[in-house]
Structure 1
């Protein structure tokens, strides 16, 4: 049996290209990161799509089947849900475009209604339930020797991915071999793919480490991300994005700890100028540069610099590229 759509969290297992069975399992036997087969119960809104293993967004139809992975999401501006909240009816939702599956428990009124699906069974390969952890790059935490440009945020949707793309492009144009990664968040492929488009090679994220989202025990997170970081060591510089914010339950603080000794430059993408102060106080340090939506206007830049004493740039403007380039090259040299 094969699903109509394999979501992007299945890419590490290459389920599209292999044979597997679908076997229902009792609810008490489920676990995070397991691949499950589900059927769409009603046609979603046209703008609600999921990613396939190549990162392309595809529309789902009522009655079609998908394979995703059980997981947890706690987005401050969009959706909250958990696989552990799925009831006996097997109804659940596609919590991320990448195919993280769980029962929706809270949603912003400004977010499109997610796709509802009904559980039909677990994916079974060679007699064993397929789990993301079985296909991940998990390893002991490596000793990093490559400098890191760290991209943090004060919240989701603060401009981190755009900032990572701009930083990657500037460094590639300067002749650096850039590797890029997304260390925390909820599984989608498009964020790290955008850094590949900007010239990063290789690119990895926590899905490659075997995690649907990084809301997992810290020990499990560190093992998964250790394998990801180990794949990036041959580059001249690593651009590392920490999804959401370091204070949310995605293991952001642990991610910062894993790379901290090699961080050469830190960019903080802020949702508003006051949020910069919150991150500074929480971590008792200041970023090298503030970017993101707080810098969309000159008034925002002025307020960031006044309140936090940090330099700020609107990286959507071409005029910001040269001062960004100078700061990055100076830090890396």
Structure 2
């Protein structure tokens, strides 16, 4: 009678010099407190999951020439350097489509914030991804370490009572795609509201883990900033919809302090990205977000996006984004959005207190 072979798993010590990435910052803190508690596991019997932490050697520097550190510094990558990143799926129309591989074979760094994945498609303008060779999955006495093991917040399941909890006004920032100006729009809105004397908190519900956007929100004047990485997710692409809906509620709840006047949240990528498209049509999202600000690169994108958002029943406060860099594109957008009674506001005009507070439903 034949029996299945026993998987071979090798345990090795954790190397002394490792560059942790932004996505692994909470795990890095735990290692610094007690490095003896951690080790590496490798072998053909291991199959990584999204969020599993891996230590890998950089074998070829490609598209990503830097890695974002836990403090959001952009550290230069050298071949042979050891990095600590997390496995995850990536959806980036301007860069890579990547998925968690099924083994610890050589793979790619697919996001500077610290995401390892197998690239299946790439934009023609980007170079080959940076190649990394996993040395092993990070582990402790409980087994393989996942980001959610050390995340400061838990993504609690949605319940009806939590859906109906009273909250401050919540504004969502969405856009046509990557690089449509969402983060800049959001930062200027935060800045304008803060200048008006209001206490603003900010967060990012979906996307790929990186410190740049949270840092911008903080610099703009947000009193508190959180994103999905604070709940143990390196990315939200391919995440179960119930988890994304729970993130929406949990993020807003944790951003709601006794003195919070407004919560502003960003939804990554474009409105036709799979998870975003489903999110925008869900009643839980509608019950949580009071209105949205839409960023677009041109008038056609602004009209199509605003039409789509109105069609699913969301209130659009205004359009803004990259298109407002051009007076002509702004004029075109104003013309085509008149039927929706949606104003077009300059991205940097949002930092003016009178402009920002004019958008509020709860004056």
Partner of 2:24: 10
Residues 268 and 104 of structure 1: CA distance in aligned 2, closer, same or farther (over 3 Å): same
2:78 equivalent to 1:61: yes
Matches within 5 A, 1:102-141: 102-136=117-151, 137=153, 138-141=155-158
1:97, distance to aligned residue in structure 2 (A): 1.3
Q: Rg larger in 1 or in 2?
A: 2
Q: Alpha carbon RMSD of aligned pairs, Å?
A: 2.4
1:75, distance to aligned residue in structure 2 (A): 1.1
Q: Which moved more, 1:115-124 or 1:276-285?
A: 276-285
Partner of 1:232: 255
Partner of 2:226: 204
How far apart, in 2, do the equivalents of 1:220 and 1:133 lie? 13
Residues 233 and 322 of structure 1: CA distance in aligned 2, closer, same or farther (over 3 Å): closer
Residues 273 and 123 of structure 1: CA distance in aligned 2, closer, same or farther (over 3 Å): same
How far apart, in 2, do the equivalents of 1:204 and 1:255 lie? 21
Partner of 1:93: 108
Matches within 5 A, 1:8-87: 8-13=22-27, 14-17=29-32, 18-19=34-35, 20-26=38-44, 29-44=47-62, 48-84=65-101
Do the aligned residues in 2 keep the contact of 1:148 with 1:265 (CA within 8 Å)?
A: yes
Partner of 2:355: 324
Q: Secondary structure at the match of 1:219?
A: helix
How far apart, in 2, do the equivalents of 1:180 and 1:326 lie? 16
Deviations 1:215-244 (A, max 9, x none): 111123233444322211112211111111
Q: Give structure 1 regions of 4+ aligned residues with deviation exceeding 4 angstroms.
A: 255-259
Q: Which moved more, 1:233-242 or 1:257-266?
A: 257-266
Do the aligned residues in 1 keep the contact of 2:62 with 2:127 (CA within 8 Å)?
A: no
Do the aligned residues in 1 keep the contact of 2:297 with 2:322 (CA within 8 Å)?
A: yes
How far apart, in 2, do the equivalents of 1:40 and 1:144 lie? 48
Q: Secondary structure at the match of 1:41?
A: strand
Do the aligned residues in 1 keep the contact of 2:42 with 2:137 (CA within 8 Å)?
A: yes
Partner of 1:158: 180
Partner of 2:273: 248
How far apart, in 2, do the equivalents of 1:278 and 1:296 lie? 19
User: Which ranges in structure 2 are unaligned for 5 or more consecutive residues?
Assistant: 1-13
Q: TM-score, normalised by structure 2?
A: 0.83
